[in-house]
C-alpha cells in the first residue's frame, strides 16, 4: 500500500431517485498508482458510483474529496479533466475517428499531430488508416477502444472505467489490460474499473464488491 | 372599387360554415361539437373586444398607449412560448426578453427607415405579426432544445467527462434547435405568393390597393419576420441552454 494521501476520498456517498435507493452508502479511498476493481450484480449502483465520482451526477448524500478538497468547490471542467469517466458503450462524436480523438485537444484549445493520434491508436491495436474511418463503420470493439483513447489523450489522475473491455476479444482485452497496467505503473494513474471478467478480477490486488441496495432506506440529502 | 364592407347579415350567413363543421362532428361522432361552439364563441367575443379596444387606441393616438399595447402583445406571446419550456426554468423571463428584443429592434428599423409610421394603426398590427412569429419560433426552439438534449444525454455526458464546458457540450444542440425553429419562417418566405397569399397582402388587396403596391408591404413583412425570428430564437437559445444544467455543470434531466 502506498503512503500517499488519497487522491479520491469518498465519504458516505449514496444515491436515491424518487425514493428508491440506487446506490447504498459507500466510503472508499483511492491512492495514486492504485487499481480498484469494482464488481457486483447489475443494479448494485456501480455505474452510478463512477458517474457520481466523475461529477456527472450529484450524490443524494455524502461527500467526495479530491486531493483533500471537496469537489463541489472545484471547477467542474478542471475536475473532470483530472477524474475522467469512460462509458461502457461510448457514443462517438462527429464523422470520423479523428474527430473523436481531436476533441480532448479542442477542449484544451490545442490541435493534435496526426502522428500522435496514430501512435495512440497503435497502443490499442488499431491501425493508422482507422483515423479517417467513418464512425458508423466501426465495430463495437473498435468504438469501445476509440472511446477509451479519448479519455487517454491527456492523462488524467484518476480514470473511471465502466466495463470498457466488454465488447473485446481476449487478445484486445489483454492489450487494454496491458496498456492500463503500464499507465498505472508509469504515470501513477489511479483507476477504478468495473468488470465482470473473472481473469481481470483475479489479477487485481483490490476488489470492491457492491451489494444490491436495501430498499426502503433511501437517504435524503443532508 | 372593391366592396370591403361586410354586412352583419352576410356574416350571419357565413356562420353556415360552422354548421357544416358541427354536422360533420355529429355525424362522424368526433365529439368535437362542444369544442367547436366554444372556440367560435371565444373567437367572436375576443375579436369584438379587440375591435373596440383598437378603435379607441387608434382614436386616442397616444404614443405611450401604443408602447403599452406592444408590451401587452409581447407579454402574451411570452406567456404562450413559456408553455414549451419544460425543463428550462425562468421560461417566461427568457421568452419575454427574446421576443421583446426581437420585436423592438424590428419595429425600430421599420420606423426609422420610414417603412411604417409610429402611429398605433400601423405599429400595433405589425407588432402582432412580429411577436406572433417570434412566439412560434421561440416555442419551437425551447421544445427542440429540450428534446435534443434529452435524446443525447449520454453524448453530452461523455463530452463533459472529457472536461468540455457546458457550452461546448451543448453547442451542436443549440445550433440544431435554432435551425429547426427558423425553418417554418424561412420556408414560409420561400413559398410566399406561390402557396398562400399572406394576410398583409390579402388585406391590402381586399381594401382595393393595387397588388403591385401590396407586394411591397409583403416584402417588408418577409424581411421583418426573418429578422425577428432569427434574433429572438438566438437570444432564447443562448439564454436557456445553461438552464438545463445545475451549478455543478450536471444535466438536470
> pLDDT tens per residue, chain B (253 residues)?
445 678 888 888 999 999 999 999 999 988 889 999 999 999 999 999 999 999 999 999 999 999 999 999 999 999 999 999 988 999 999 999 999 999 999 999 999 999 999 999 999 999 999 999 999 999 999 999 999 999 999 999 999 999 999 999 999 999 999 999 999 999 989 988 887 778 888 888 888 999 999 899 889 999 999 999 999 999 999 999 999 999 999 999 7
Identify the three-state secondary structure at position A103: helix
Residues, chain A: 222
Asked if B162 lies within 8 A of A76 by C-beta distance, the reply is: no
The residue extents of the domains of chain A are 8-209
Asked if B163 lies within 8 A of A58 by C-beta distance, the reply is: no
Give the pLDDT of residue B4: 60
Enter the DSSP assignment of A96: B
Give the pLDDT of residue A184: 92
Identify the three-state secondary structure at position B237: helix
Asked if B161 lies within 8 A of A151 by C-beta distance, the reply is: yes
Q: Please check whether residue A57 touches B, CB under 8 A.
A: yes
Residues 83-122 of B with CB under 8 A from A: none
> How many Å apart are CA A101 and CA A114, to the nearest integer?
10
Asked if B250 lies within 8 A of A55 by C-beta distance, the reply is: yes
* Nearest-Cα residue of chain A relative to residue B155: A91
Give the pLDDT of residue B199: 82
Query: Residue A202, Cβ neighbours under 10 Å: how many?
Result: 9
Q: Where are the alpha helices (DSSP H) in B152-210?
A: 153-161, 166-191, 199-206
pLDDT digits (tens, 9 = 90+) for A104-153: 999 999 999 999 999 999 999 999 999 999 999 999 999 999 999 999 99
Name residue, grid cell 478538497.
A69
Closest-CA distance of chain B to residue A56, Å: 5
Burial of B19 (0-12, 13-18, 19+ CB in 10 A): exposed
Mutate to test the interface with B, among A18, A51, A56, A112 (most CBs of B within 10 A): A56
Query: Which residues on chain A are in Cβ contact (under 8 Å) with B154?
Result: 87, 91
Residue A217 C-alpha cell reads as: 432506506
Q: Please check whether residue B165 touches A, CB under 8 A.
A: yes
Burial of A150 (0-12, 13-18, 19+ CB in 10 A): buried
* Nearest-Cα residue of chain A relative to residue B248: A76
Mutate to test the interface with A, among B162, B175, B244 (most CBs of A within 10 A): B162
Give the pLDDT of residue A4: 63
Closest CA to B240 of B184, B187, B167: B167
Contact B2, B207 (CB under 8 A): yes
Closest-CA distance of chain B to residue A40, Å: 23
Contact B126, B116 (CB under 8 A): yes
Identify the three-state secondary structure at position B246: coil
> How many Å apart are CA A49 and CA A55, to the nearest integer?
10
Name residue, grid cell 438552464.
B243
Q: Please check whether residue A72 touches B, CB under 8 A.
A: yes
Q: Where are the alpha helices (DSSP H) in chain A?
A: 46-53, 76-82, 97-107, 114-122, 140-152, 170-187, 198-203
Give the pLDDT of residue B109: 94
> How many Å apart are CA B174 and CA B179, to the nearest integer?
9
pLDDT grade for A215, boundaries at 50, 70 and 90? low
Asked if A78 lies within 8 A of B159 by C-beta distance, the reply is: no
Cβ-nearest to A107 among B157, B168, B249: B168
Asked if B164 lies within 8 A of A77 by C-beta distance, the reply is: yes
The pTM of this model reads: 0.85
Q: Please check whether residue B157 touches A, CB under 8 A.
A: yes
> What CATH number belongs to A8-209?
3.40.50.300
Q: Please check whether residue A150 touches B, CB under 8 A.
A: yes
Q: Which residues fall within 8 angstroms of residue A189, CB to CB, at 6 or more apart?
A: A32, A33, A155, A156, A157, A158, A159, A180, A183
Asked if B162 lies within 8 A of A104 by C-beta distance, the reply is: yes
Asked if A87 lies within 8 A of B163 by C-beta distance, the reply is: no
Query: Residue B209, Cβ neighbours under 10 Å: how many?
Result: 15
Asked if A56 lies within 8 A of B165 by C-beta distance, the reply is: no
Tell me how far the alpha carbon of residue A4 is from its chain's centroid: 21
Checking if the pLDDT of A213 tops 90, the result is no
Cβ-nearest to B161 among A78, A80, A106: A80
> How many Å apart are CA A148 and CA A85, to the nearest integer?
9
Asked if B161 lies within 8 A of A103 by C-beta distance, the reply is: no
Q: Please check whether residue B158 touches A, CB under 8 A.
A: yes
> How many Å apart are CA B4 and CA B115, to the nearest integer?
25
Could you give the angle at the alpha carbon of A80 between the alpha carbons of B244 and A191, nearest 5°? Answer: 135
Cβ-nearest to B165 among A58, A77, A150: A77
Q: How many helices (H) and strands (E) does chain B have?
A: 10, 0
Enter the DSSP assignment of A165: T
pLDDT digits (tens, 9 = 90+) for A17-33: 998 999 999 999 999 99
Checking if the pLDDT of A183 tops 60, the result is yes
Closest CA to B11 of B55, B57, B51: B51
Give the pLDDT of residue B161: 97
Closest CA to A96 of A136, A141, A148: A136
pLDDT grade for A2, boundaries at 50, 70 and 90? very low
ipTM: 0.91
Q: Please check whether residue A65 touches B, CB under 8 A.
A: no
Give the pLDDT of residue A222: 38
Checking if the pLDDT of A94 tops 70, the result is yes
Asked if A76 lies within 8 A of B158 by C-beta distance, the reply is: no
Amino acid at each position: 500500500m502506498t503512503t500517499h494521501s488519497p487522491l479520491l476520498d469518498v465519504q458516505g456517498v449514496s444515491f436515491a431517485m424518487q425514493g428508491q435507493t440506487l446506490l447504498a452508502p459507500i466510503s472508499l479511498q483511492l491512492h495514486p498508482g492504485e487499481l480498484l476493481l469494482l464488481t457486483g450484480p447489475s443494479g448494485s449502483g456501480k455505474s452510478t458510483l463512477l458517474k457520481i465520482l466523475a461529477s456527472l451526477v450529484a450524490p443524494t448524500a455524502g461527500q467526495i474529496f479530491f486531493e483533500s478538497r471537496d469537489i463541489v468547490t472545484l471547477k467542474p471542467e478542471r475536475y473532470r479533466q483530472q477524474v475522467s469517466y469512460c462509458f461502457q458503450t461510448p457514443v462517438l462524436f462527429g464523422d470520423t475517428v479523428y474527430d473523436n480523438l481531436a476533441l480532448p485537444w479542442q477542449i484544451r484549445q490545442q490541435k493534435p499531430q496526426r502522428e500522435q493520434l496514430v501512435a495512440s491508436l497503435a497502443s490499442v491495436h488499431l491501425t493508422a488508416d482507422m483515423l479517417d474511418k467513418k464512425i458508423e463503420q466501426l465495430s463495437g470493439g473498435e468504438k469501445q477502444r476509440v472511446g477509451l483513447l479519448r479519455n487517454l489523450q491527456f492523462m488524467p489522475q484518476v480514470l473511471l472505467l465502466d466495463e470498457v473491455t466488454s465488447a473485446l476479444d481476449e487478445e484486445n482485452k489483454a492489450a487494454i489490460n496491458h496498456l492500463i497496467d503500464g499507465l498505472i505503473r508509469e504515470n501513477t494513474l489511479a483507476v477504478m474499473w468495473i468488470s465482470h471478467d473473472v481473469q481481470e478480477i483475479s489479477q487485481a490486488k483490490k476488489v470492491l464488491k457492491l451489494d444490491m441496495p436495501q430498499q426502503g432506506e433511501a437517504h435524503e440529502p443532508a | 372599387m372593391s366592396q370591403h364592407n361586410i354586412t352583419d347579415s352576410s356574416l350571419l350567413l357565413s356562420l353556415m360554415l360552422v354548421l357544416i363543421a358541427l354536422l360533420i362532428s355529429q355525424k362522424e361522432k368526433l365529439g368535437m361539437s362542444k369544442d367547436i361552439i366554444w372556440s367560435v364563441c371565444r373567437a367572436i367575443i375576443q375579436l369584438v373586444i379587440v375591435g373596440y379596444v383598437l378603435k379607441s387606441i387608434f382614436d386616442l393616438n397616444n404614443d405611450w398607449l401604443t408602447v403599452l399595447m406592444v408590451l401587452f402583445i409581447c407579454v402574451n406571446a411570452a406567456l404562450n412560448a413559456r408553455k414549451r419550456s419544460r425543463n428550462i426554468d425562468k421560461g417566461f423571463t427568457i421568452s419575454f426578453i427574446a421576443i421583446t428584443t426581437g420585436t423592438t429592434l424590428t419595429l425600430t428599423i421599420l420606423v426609422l427607415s420610414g417603412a411604417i409610421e409610429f402611429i398605433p394603426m400601423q405599429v400595433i398590427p405589425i407588432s402582432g405579426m412580429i411577436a406572433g412569429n417570434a412566439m412560434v419560433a421561440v416555442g419551437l426552439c425551447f421544445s427542440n432544445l429540450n428534446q435534443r438534449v434529452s435524446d443525447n444525454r449520454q453524448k453530452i455526458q461523455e463530452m463533459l467527462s472529457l472536461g468540455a464546458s457546458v457550452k461546448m457540450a451543448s453547442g451542436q444542440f443549440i445550433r440544431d434547435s435554432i435551425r429547426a425553429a427558423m425553418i417554418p419562417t424561412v420556408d414560409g418566405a420561400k413559398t410566399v405568393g406561390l402557396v398562400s397569399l399572406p394576410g398583409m397582402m390579402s388585406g391590402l388587396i381586399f381594401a382595393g390597393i393595387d397588388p403591385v403596391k401590396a407586394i411591397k408591404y409583403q416584402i417588408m413583412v418577409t424581411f421583418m419576420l426573418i429578422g425577428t425570428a432569427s434574433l429572438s430564437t438566438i437570444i432564447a437559445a443562448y439564454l436557456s441552454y445553461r438552464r438545463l444544467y445545475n451549478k455543478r455543470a450536471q444535466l438536470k434531466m
